[in-house]
Amino acid sequence: MPLPSDHPVSPLTLLDEWLVAIGAVKAGRAPEKKLTDGLAAMGLITVDDLLEHFPHRHEDRTRFDRFPNQPTDRPLCLRGEVTDAQQRFLPGRRRFFEATVEDPEGDVLSGRLVLRWFNMPYIHKLIAVGQELVIYGQPKQKGRRLVIDHPDYEI
């Protein structure tokens, strides 16, 4: 929504005034006050502050890492083929879904990862053997296997 023509906008315009002017919030209402207070707590007082605000981290998910053979200290973005997928059970009627992913273009030394999702019973309907997945998560050593719990994924 464009700003009204009679409203001067400068980088020093207060953020709460600007949000009201563009119609994003209504002045004086409690939810809007909570929003502007939250922005102020982050140090965002003026429009310029908002324009200069940058995220704390950037995750590049366009480049794929090599399959690891050991745990890493950072999350990885990987592409692999599902070679095994099944629902497993824990004591007390609890269950989880587990999928094994391998690098389809990898060599003999390429790693194998186990992906696990707990309390997400619908996952077994989405992921099947033979599918190619793009996964993002941090591998950890669990026994003799490398495991990523609750990875982000795309089919």
Judge whether 59 lies within some domain. Answer: no
Same domain? 81 vs 41 = no
Nearest CA to 45 among 16, 71, 6?
16
* Cβ neighbour number for residue 137 with a 10 Å cutoff: 18
Domain membership of residue 131 (yes or no) is yes
The two three-digit tokens of residue 103, written as one number? 């690098």
Position 12 scores a pLDDT of 61
Domain range enclosing 42: 1-54
Note whether residue 85 is domain-resident.
yes
β strands within 22-75, DSSP E: none
Domain count for the chain, please give it: 2
41 and 105 fall within a common domain: no
Residue 61 lies in a domain: no
The whole-number pLDDT of residue 131 equals: 94
The pLDDT value recorded for residue 142 is 92
Identify the pLDDT of residue 1.
44
CB atoms within 10 A of CB 28: 8
40 and 2 inside one domain:
yes
Whether 82 and 36 map to the same domain: the answer is no
On whether both 29 and 85 belong to a single domain, the answer is: no
Same domain, 17 and 85: no
| Residue stretches of the chain with pLDDT short of 50 | 1-4
- Same domain assignment for residues 87 and 49: no
